[in-house]
């Protein structure tokens, strides 16, 4: 039994699938003289296809990102034409009579090794490009072998060192019934997605991949953050019973779907859902949401070689917006960067990506991408009830620049005679401490705030949200975090603006009462969590929530806060009995 970080609740029992990202297992095969010519032709054809693909990617990167980014793909094409690679592989196939995959892997290894020995850092880094090109050709030669989780065809539990958010979103929920990985924290996007998709998951296990073999059987207990390897019959029986119980509780909570989230003394909280892709909308309805409180648009940019066009974005945003009517959708502009990379961004490789060119910062450095998204959002705004939310805003100056982009885009659309909602509401995410501390100043410039605790906690406590080594230090109840949240709510309300929360803290039943007591107007979370949060809201009074929040806010000791919450929970449980 191994303990990690509980990322997504639920129990899964099944066979293991060890996932290694883009690992190609290439076998060596000896050719007959008769086969050699065909093998060389196969190689030339693969090179030609990859060259065409690169040309397309380069063109699209040039159009959307400019010369700087398209250059990477041009450099890839040059590697492809390098005689060292081309002739090297052909020579080996002909002379040693081996299959082209084997020859290619050998030659790529040789070339990348020689680059790695170069002193110049820039050139040394190019060894990665060479390996990348090798993979592209190999992929082409080997056809459709498993190279992504979407290709898994039988029910499995995925075990991996790490999974990126783009790997996770590509999973088929009916096939990947659970996963466990060495890396990650509770609010990493891999964990958030597992939660949204309803896949039980444990992350931050540090070395689970060393303990598990391909044919093992495992149990994932996503609520406790436990993985049991090769369990005996009794353990399997216990977990199966536990799973059934969880399903019954979920069924019972499902009955709350059409009821509102109102406290026993009549205070209503808006409960809405976070989504990443439109495919989640049926789950949003099942959860009984009052709308979409956070639509993370960056997922449209992932798992593809090109950027989505304005038209494609317009279609997707309109579709989401229409489907959720009469409720509203808060559409967040791109939060790419850090743990969420599009393929066109991979070259960025920053040293400290969470502090780097992420979200609105990335958009401001790539105005063409930002403008195209704003145009698509504004065009789609006439089809529903849409609000816009800007991520990672650090203060008033940045907010003003972003608003200027909005104004310019609106001006341009009016000039073109394209309709859009002129009074569209604008909000900022409060997820950087500097934004929380200047919420009073920014409140005059926006219609609402949405507190992003996933980042607010990581930036306030200097605890990387995806780093398993500091996962135990990630503390939503830290007095500093609570003070920042309280401050934002107060400043927002003083200016007559509503304040919501869309970070994972909003989805944790342990925090519901204190968050309501602090005065939040809205809580937005993965739709799967909505019933259990609604259940709590309907069982508490606003006045007692306020008392609890006041008591907690006056505490100086972290232990005291935990004791206060525990005591309150126990008294609620006793009253229920
Ligand atoms: C947050 O930071 O709390 C948030 C909701 O945004 P994301 O998880 O997408 O960074
Ligand atoms: Mg965030």
Structural domain spans, the chain: 1-18+150-232, 23-142, 253-430+504-576
- Of 33-42, 207-216, 234-243, 556-565, give the lowest mean pLDDT range: 207-216
Residue 351 confidence class, pLDDT cut points 50, 70, 90: confident
Q: CB–CB of 156/177 below 8 Å?
A: yes
Does pLDDT of 551 surpass 80?
Answer: yes
CA-nearest residue for atom 1, ligand 1, is 452
**pLDDT number for residue 21:** 62
The more confidently predicted of residues 389 and 127 is: 389
Question: Phi-psi category of 79—alpha, beta or left, where left has phi over 0 and alpha has psi -120 to 50?
Answer: alpha
What's the start-to-end Cα distance of the chain, in Å? 34
Segment 127-144 mean pLDDT: 77
Instruction: Please tell me the distance from the alpha carbon of residue 303 to that of residue 210, in angstroms, as a whole number.
Output: 28
Q: CB–CB of 338/330 below 8 Å?
A: no
Does pLDDT of 336 surpass 80?
Answer: yes
Q: Looking at 189, 195, 363, 366, which residue is catalytic? A: 189
Is residue 363 among the annotated active site residues?
A: no
Q: With a 6 A CB cut-off, is 302 part of the ligand 1 pocket?
A: no
What backbone torsions phi and psi does residue 570 show, to the nearest 5 degrees? -60, -40
Q: Which two tokens stand for residue 536?
A: 């709590």
What is the three-class DSSP state of 465?
A: coil
Q: With a 6 A CB cut-off, is 454 part of the ligand 1 pocket?
A: yes
Q: CB–CB of 304/342 below 8 Å?
A: yes
Residue 74 confidence class, pLDDT cut points 50, 70, 90: confident
**pLDDT number for residue 575:** 80
Q: Which two tokens stand for residue 426?
A: 């604008």
3-state secondary structure string across 262-318? ECCCCCECEEEEEECCHHHHHHHHHHCCCEEEEEEHHHHHCCCCCCCCHHHHHHHHH
Residue 572 confidence class, pLDDT cut points 50, 70, 90: confident
Query: Which of 429, 459, 508, 515 best tests ligand 1's pocket when mutated (most atoms within 8 Å of CB)?
Result: 429
Q: With a 6 A CB cut-off, is 296 part of the ligand 1 pocket?
A: yes
Residues 6+ apart with CB under 8 A from 366: 65, 66
CA-nearest residue for atom 8, ligand 1, is 454
Does pLDDT of 93 surpass 80?
Answer: yes
pLDDT tens sequence across 275-319? 999 999 999 998 888 899 999 999 999 888 788 999 999 999 999
- Of 43-52, 109-118, 238-247, 520-529, give the lowest mean pLDDT range: 109-118
The Å distance, Cα 439 to ligand 1 centre, comes to 18
Residue 408 confidence class, pLDDT cut points 50, 70, 90: very high
pLDDT tens sequence across 441-476? 999 999 999 999 999 999 999 999 999 999 999 999
Segment 183-197 mean pLDDT: 90
Does pLDDT of 372 surpass 80?
Answer: yes
Cis peptide before 572 (omega within 30 of 0): no
- Domain 1-18+150-232 bears CATH identifier 3.50.30.10: yes
Is residue 502 among the annotated active site residues?
A: yes
Query: Over the Cα atoms of the chain, what is R_g?
Result: 26
The Å distance, Cα 532 to ligand 2 centre, comes to 23
**pLDDT number for residue 153:** 75
CA-nearest residue for atom 9, ligand 1, is 296
- Closest ligand 1 atom to Cα of 503: 3
**pLDDT number for residue 68:** 61
pLDDT tens sequence across 13-62? 999 998 876 555 567 789 999 999 999 999 999 999 888 888 877 776 67
Q: Looking at 102, 195, 366, 502, which residue is catalytic? A: 502
The Å distance, Cα 291 to ligand 2 centre, comes to 19
- Closest ligand 1 atom to Cα of 504: 3
The Å distance, Cα 495 to ligand 1 centre, comes to 24
Instruction: Please tell me the distance from the alpha carbon of residue 130 to that of residue 242, in angstroms, as a whole number.
Output: 50
Q: Do 23-142 and 253-430+504-576 fold alike per CATH?
A: no
pTM of whole model > 0.85?
A: no
Q: With a 6 A CB cut-off, is 502 part of the ligand 1 pocket?
A: yes
Q: With a 6 A CB cut-off, is 196 part of the ligand 1 pocket?
A: no
Q: What share of the chain is helix, strand, coil (3-state, %, to 5)?
A: 55, 15, 30
| Other Cβ atoms within 10 Å of 514 Cβ, number | 26
β-pairing verdict for 226-229 and 217-221:
antiparallel
Instruction: Please tell me the distance from the alpha carbon of residue 232 to that of residue 239, in angstroms, as a whole number.
Output: 11
Does pLDDT of 148 surpass 70?
Answer: no
Q: With a 6 A CB cut-off, is 431 part of the ligand 1 pocket?
A: yes
Q: With a 6 A CB cut-off, is 335 part of the ligand 1 pocket?
A: yes
Q: CB–CB of 257/531 below 8 Å?
A: yes
- Domain 253-430+504-576 bears CATH identifier 3.20.20.60: yes
* Range 552-560, long-range pairs (CB < 8 A, 24+ positions): 552/482, 552/514, 553/482, 553/483, 553/486, 553/518, 555/479, 556/479, 558/475, 558/477, 558/478, 558/479
The more confidently predicted of residues 59 and 206 is: 206
- Closest ligand 1 atom to Cα of 505: 3
- Of 23-37, 143-157, 516-530, give the lowest mean pLDDT range: 143-157
| Fold annotation for 23-142 | Enzyme I; Chain A, domain 2 (1.10.274)
Q: Mean pLDDT of all residues in the chain?
A: 91
Does pLDDT of 64 surpass 60?
Answer: no
Q: With a 6 A CB cut-off, is 525 part of the ligand 1 pocket?
A: no
Q: With a 6 A CB cut-off, is 453 part of the ligand 1 pocket?
A: yes
**pLDDT number for residue 117:** 78
- Closest ligand 1 atom to Cα of 502: 5
Does pLDDT of 132 surpass 80?
Answer: no
The Å distance, Cα 272 to ligand 1 centre, comes to 15
């Amino acid at each position: 039994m191994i303990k990690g970080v509980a990322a997504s609740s639920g129990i899964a029992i099944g066979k293991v699938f060890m996932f290694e990202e883009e690992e190609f297992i290439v076998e060596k095969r000896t050719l007959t003289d008769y086969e050699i010519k065909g093998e060389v032709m196969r190689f030339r054809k693969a090179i030609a296809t990859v060259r065409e693909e690169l040309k397309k990617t380069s063109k699209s990167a040039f159009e959307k990102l400019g010369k700087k980014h398209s250059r990477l793909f041009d450099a890839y094409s040059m590697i492809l034409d390098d005689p060292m690679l081309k002739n090297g592989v052909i020579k080996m196939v002909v002379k040693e009579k081996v299959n082209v995959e084997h020859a290619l892997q050998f030659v790529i290894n040789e070339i990348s090794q020689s680059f790695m020995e170069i002193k110049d850092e820039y050139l040394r880094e190019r060894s990665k490009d060479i390996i990348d090109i090798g993979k592209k050709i190999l992929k082409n030669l080997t056809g459709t072998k498993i190279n992504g989780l979407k290709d898994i065809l039988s029910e499995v539990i995925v075990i991996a060192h790490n999974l990126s958010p783009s790997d996770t979103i590509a999973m088929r929920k009916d096939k990947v019934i659970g996963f466990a990985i060495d890396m990650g924290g509770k609010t990493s996007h891999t964990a958030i997605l597992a939660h949204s998709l309803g896949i039980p998951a444990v992350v931050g296990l540090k070395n689970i991949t060393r303990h598990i073999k391909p044919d093992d059987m495992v149990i994932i207990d996503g609520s406790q953050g436990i993985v049991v390897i090769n369990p005996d019959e009794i353990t399997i029986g216990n977990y199966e019973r536990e799973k059934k119980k969880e399903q019954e509780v979920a069924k019972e909570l499902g009955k709350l779907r059409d009821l509102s989230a109102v406290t026993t003394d009549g205070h209503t909280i808006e409960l809405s859902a976070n989504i990443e892709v439109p495919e989640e909308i049926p789950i949003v309805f099942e959860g009984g949401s009052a709308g979409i409180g956070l639509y993370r648009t960056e997922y449209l940019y992932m798992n593809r070689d090109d950027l989505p066009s304005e038209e494609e974005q317009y279609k997707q945003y309109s579709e989401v917006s229409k489907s959720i009517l009469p409720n509203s959708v808060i559409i967040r502009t791109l939060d790419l960067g850090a743990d969420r990379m599009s393929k066109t961004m991979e070259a960025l490789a920053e040293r400290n990506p969470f502090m780097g060119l992420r979200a609105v910062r990335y958009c401001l450095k790539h105005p063409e991408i930002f403008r195209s998204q704003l145009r698509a959002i504004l065009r789609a705004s006439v089809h529903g009830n849409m609000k816009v939310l800007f991520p990672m805003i650090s203060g008033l100056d940045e907010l003003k620049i972003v608003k200027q982009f909005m104004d310019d885009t609106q001006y341009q659309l009016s000039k073109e005679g394209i309709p859009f909602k002129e009074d569209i509401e604008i909000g900022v995410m409060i997820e950087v401490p500097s934004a929380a501390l200047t919420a009073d100043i920014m409140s005059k410039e926006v219609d609402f705030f949405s507190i992003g605790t996933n980042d607010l906690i990581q930036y306030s406590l200097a605890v990387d949200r995806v780093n398993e080594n500091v996962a135990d230090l990630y503390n939503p109840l830290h007095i500093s975090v609570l003070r920042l949240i309280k401050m934002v709510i107060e400043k927002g309300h003083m200016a007559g603006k509503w304040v919501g929360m869309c970070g994972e803290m909003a989805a944790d039943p342990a925090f519901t009462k204190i968050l309501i007591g602090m005065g939040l107007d809205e809580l937005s979370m993965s739709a799967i969590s909505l019933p259990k949060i609604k259940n709590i809201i309907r069982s508490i009074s606003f006045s007692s929530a306020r008392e609890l929040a006041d008591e907690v806010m006056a505490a100086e000791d972290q232990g005291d806060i935990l004791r206060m919450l525990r005591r309150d929970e126990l008294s609620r449980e006793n009253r229920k009995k």
